Amino acid sequence: MTAVELLRAELTRAARELGAPDPIEPALDRPRDPSFGDWTTNLAMVLARPLGMKPRDLAEALIARADLGRAGVRVADIAGPGFINFRLEGAAVAGRLVEVLRAGAAFGTSDAGHGTPVVVEFVSANPTGPLHVGHGRQAALGDAIASLLGSTGWAVSREFYYNDAGAQIQKLGASVQARIVERAGGALAIPEGGYHGEYIAEIAERYVAEHPGDPAGHEAERVREFAVAALRVEQDRDLQAFGVRFDTYYLESSLYTDGRVDETVTALQQAGDTYENDGALWLRTTAFGDDKDRVMRKQDGTFTYFVPDVAYHVTKWRRGYTRAINVQGSDHHSTVTRVRAGLQALRIGIPEGYPEYVLHQLVTVVRGGEDVKLSKRAGSYVTVRELVDDVGRDAVRYFYLMRRADSQLSFDVDLARTQSEENPVYYVQMAHARMSGIFRVGEVDPASVTGVGVDFGLLTEPDEWELINALVDYPTMVSAAAVALEPHRLTTYLHETAELAHRWYHRHHVLSVEPALMAARLTLARATQIVLGNGLALIGISAPERM
């Protein structure tokens, strides 16, 4: 048992002896100010009312009854309105570095998920244009969430859903066709709601070059397929540049060709919550929390987009994913209720909260002090590729993950470019590089540092204790971030820990001190290197040995 666990047990026993009603679960937190101690509890304040005592008196009684020495507590004192602060023995704090060294790359992982299959769907852009900065945020978020789940014991699959069917694709084809005709000297208007971007003209040019038999673009279907294929290739390149890989790609068109859309409609009709009205087929989604019923099959006989959406999520369930997470822009949030309602209406045992959603607020791009309009159809946007080329993959990823998903993100391209050298990501990477530098200069193999035979009592500097506490808290932070599906906790943690590492590095030397202390500090340098490296790897950012 670690010191914290022993401490919690002792406090529980003491509280029970004082007559506190079960359940007693003393909260042990890190104090806001590290000088207060290693751990703090508000137990005396929580129990003051039920026990009819003043918080500070109760705190004294708790301290007197608990066997704090057994938990490695050196000092316990009462502060403020009734906090009890604990300072542990040096060896109890620093000795935990051994856990980090022993686990190495596995430090911070757990089996909380018990190998349960979970599918994380993200990006899922229509193949109607290159990936823009909003997709970039999804790519960073989705990939990091998948990594978090993977490192906490879930069997994760990253999935990309291509909306390669429907009206938007028709318009894409027609748009390209219009450009082809234009090149041939004719005139054909780009359809209402079509695509005007430069890339449309480029695709038209390539089509003509590769299809000499159809210089005027008469073969509409072939043009459309060519455009979709071309854009998928482009999107794949963008994702590759960003370092994101998917395990599976699911095509919306396949839902039609293999009959799953029809099956789903039939199943919904049989389940009983559908009705016909005005020549359309409706689903009674209001029975499942929606504010109005939704059309499934339009008057013209085609399906609304939400039908294949439901069919698609049925496949996730059927493929064994008892948990599904969708990362989407908040502009799609109206689909949440609808898709869930459709799945519930099938009555096939899918849980109510299936799938889970991580909705992120939109990304605005600022360039030259002004907002850049992100409109695919007007042909003006900033792509992920541009961003990555400008400031680098690591920086882009880090920037995307610095903020909570549900806070708006304004990406100042100029700032990201000009300040690339003072980018926060370099701060974290530099801390890792500095730890690596110690081993390089000292000609010590990091892998040889095991902590065996080290006198951890020699690590007595407050700077060292703060750093050690941060390092051993890493697994707790990862677990919490995974449960909350909040990768931004990682960047926050990494920055804080890097700050402690820089300070320690600056104030205390490792290689120029007596051998016993050097051995102890090498374990700290090694543990820091491991934790920063593991954290960066988790969010897909490199951890350089030198910079």
Q: Which residues, 237 to 266, sit near RNA by CB under 7 A?
A: 252
Min dist. Cβ of residue 328 to RNA (A): 10
Query: What string marks each residue from 518 to 537 as x (binds RNA by CB under 7 A) or -?
Result: --------------------
Site for RNA in 301-330 (CB under 7 A): 304-306, 330
331 binds RNA (CB under 7 A): yes
63, 83, 260, 381: residue in contact with RNA (rule CB under 7 A): 83
Measured from the CB atom, is 82 or 217 closer to RNA?
82
| Residue 239 near residue 123, CB atoms below 8 Å | yes
With respect to RNA, which residue has the nearer C-beta, 182 or 282? 282
Cβ 231 to RNA shortest distance, Å: 14
Least distance CB 213 / RNA (angstroms): 31
Pairing of strands 117-121, 155-162: parallel
In DSSP notation, 400-433 reads HHSS-TTS-EEEEHHHHHHTGGG-HHHHHHHHHH
Q: What are the φ/ψ torsions at residue 31 (nearest 5 degrees)?
A: -65, 150
Q: Report the nearest approach of RNA to the CB of residue 216 (Å).
A: 28
**Window 173-232: residues binding RNA (CB under 7 A):** none
Q: Which stretch binds RNA (CB under 7 A): 199-207, 209-217, 254-262, 485-493?
A: 485-493
- 382-391: string of b/e by CB count within 10 Å (b at 16+)? bbbbbbbeeb
Please give the full DSSP string across 361-396, using - where no structure is assigned.
PPEEEEETTEEEP-BTTTTB--BHHHHHHHH-HHHH
State the minimum distance, in angstroms, from the CB of residue 136 to RNA.
15
Taking the chain, what is the end-to-end CA distance rounded to the nearest angstrom?
A: 39
Distance CA 477, CA 246 (A): 26
User: Min. distance of Cβ 513 from RNA in angstroms?
Assistant: 9
Instruction: For residue 442, state whether it binds RNA (rule: CB under 7 A).
Output: yes
* Cα radius of gyration (the chain): 29
Mark residues 118-157: x for contact with RNA by CB under 7 A, - for none.
Answer: --------x-------------------------------
User: Does 286 sit near RNA (CB under 7 A)?
Assistant: no
Peptide bond preceding 355: is omega within 30 degrees of 0, i.e. cis? yes
Contact call for residue 332 and RNA (CB under 7 A): yes
Count of C-beta atoms within a 10 Å radius of residue 191? 16
Q: Are 456 and 520 in contact (CB under 8 A)?
A: yes
Contact 321, 117 (CB under 8 A): yes
Residue 258 DSSP code: T
Smallest gap from Cβ 225 to RNA, in A, equals 17
| Least CB distance to RNA at residue 208 (A) | 28
* Member of 104, 243, 379, 437 binding RNA (CB under 7 A): 437
Among 146-154, 183-191, 229-237, 486-494, which window interacts with RNA (CB under 7 A)?
Answer: 486-494
Which region among 10-18, 179-187, 261-269, 356-364 touches RNA (by CB under 7 A)? Answer: 356-364
Give the up-direction half-sphere exposure of residue 302: CA atoms within 13 A in the CB hemisphere: 6
Sign of CA dihedral 345, 346, 351, 353: negative
Question: How far, in Å, CA of 345 to CA of 271, rounded?
Answer: 7
Cβ proximity to RNA, 9 vs 45, nearer residue: 45
Q: Positive or negative, the Cα torsion across 451, 454, 459, 460?
A: positive
Residues 6+ away with beta carbon under 8 Å from 258: none
For residue 139, CA distances in Å to 79, 130, 513, 537 come to 46, 13, 46, 15
Nearer to RNA (CB atom), residue 45 or residue 216: 45
From the list 218, 245, 347, 506, which residue makes contact with RNA (rule: CB under 7 A)? 506
Binders of RNA in range 91-110 (CB under 7 A): none
For the bound state, the minimum distance from the C-beta of residue 79 to RNA, rounded and expressed in Å, comes to: 3
| DSSP 8-state code for residue 301 | S
Considering only residues 465 to 484 of the shown chain, the ones binding RNA according to CB under 7 A are 480, 483-484
The nearer residue to RNA, 217 or 451, going by C-beta atoms, is 451
Q: How far is CA 37 from CA 9, 31, 94, 268, 304, in A?
A: 19, 7, 14, 60, 60
State both tokens at 74.
């050196």
Q: For the segment 375-404, give every residue that binds RNA (CB under 7 A).
A: 402-404
From 14, 146, 327, 438, residue interacting with RNA (rule: CB under 7 A)? 438
CB of 185 or CB of 443, closer to RNA = 443
Stretch that binds RNA, among 61-69, 89-97, 141-149, 288-296 (CB under 7 A): 288-296
347 counts as binding RNA under rule CB under 7 A: no
Q: Which of 380, 408, 450, 460 binds RNA (CB under 7 A)?
A: 408
Question: Mask of contacts with RNA, 20-49, x by CB under 7 A?
Answer: ---------xxxxx--x---x-x--xx-xx
Number of residues that bind RNA (CB under 7 A): 93
For RNA, the binding residue among 70, 218, 298, 373 (CB under 7 A) is 298
